[in-house]
Amino acid sequence: MQVTNTDDFVWRLVKGCVQLGLVPDMNNTINMVPVDHVALCTSLAAVSPLPNAALSVLHITAQPLPTFNGVLSCLKRFGFSTEPCDYVLWRRKLEQHVMEVQDNALFPLLHFVLDDLPTSTKSPSLDDRNTVALLEGAQEKIQITVSDELVGLYLSWLVTAGFLPQPSASEPEIKLPKLSKMGVPVRAAGRTGG
């Protein structure tokens, strides 16, 4: 079974932007790492821990770090009807939308979203030297990030799970990828949110 947490802030933001048709200009980084990279780091730490580091902390970060602008700009390229706009305009339009229809994935987070996302969503800088050393020692790739291609896979999965609607553009810049090995059930974990 394939599952993701649709109650996650990033996916609620993605769905809320699709519902609104607007994406905010936010160039903050997102501490978002592909799960297979996290699994690799975890397994390496278990089978070949760092020498002289009985209880070392392994912060796992994407390199380079994805940004909200990067992830959200993928929506239009994959055929979702969205337009970029200034954050203040987006916030005002979101508030109007929620008050009128009361059906948006960001409704449960409205107090947070209407505050100041460009300020309140800054990811902390993490010291990932131990993780880099672990990966180098195992001769594994260090530069791992959430690419546009990977965002496309995530969006495709969220459409298949029924969390996002099908993209509405008849000729998108990039078609959503077909998911392979779909013989297993796909479902969203958490509230579906709007």
DSSP character string of 72-134 = HHHHHHTT---EEE-HHHHHHHHHHHHHHH---TTGGGHHHHHHHHHHHTPPPP---HHHHHH
Mean pLDDT of all residues in 54-62: 83
Mean pLDDT of all residues in 121-137: 89
pLDDT at 1: 38
Quick one: which of 70, 65, 96 has its CA closest to 84? 70
pLDDT at 184: 58
Two tokens, residue 46 = 């278990």
130: DSSP letter: H
Is residue 105 pLDDT above 50, yes or no? yes
Is residue 58 pLDDT above 70, yes or no? yes
Enclosing H/E stretch for 68:
helix 68-77
pLDDT at 183: 61
pLDDT at 127: 92
58: DSSP letter: -
Kindly write down the DSSP assignment for every residue of 13-31, as one continuous string: HHHHHHHHTEEE----B--
- Each residue's pLDDT tens digit, 5-18: 888 899 999 999 99
pLDDT at 181: 65
What value does the mean pLDDT of the chain take? 88
User: Hey, CA dihedral for 104, 110, 112, 116, is it positive or negative?
Assistant: positive
Is residue 185 pLDDT above 70, yes or no? no
Enclosing H/E stretch for 151:
helix 148-160
Query: Where is pLDDT greater, at 122 or 131?
Result: 131
Q: Any idea which residue has 């009128």 for tokens?
A: 100
Mean pLDDT of all residues in 76-99: 95
User: Hey, CA dihedral for 54, 123, 60, 185, is it positive or negative?
Assistant: positive
Distance of CA 148 to the CA centre of its chain: 11
pLDDT at 192: 47
d(CA 177, CA 184) in angstroms, rounded, equals 17
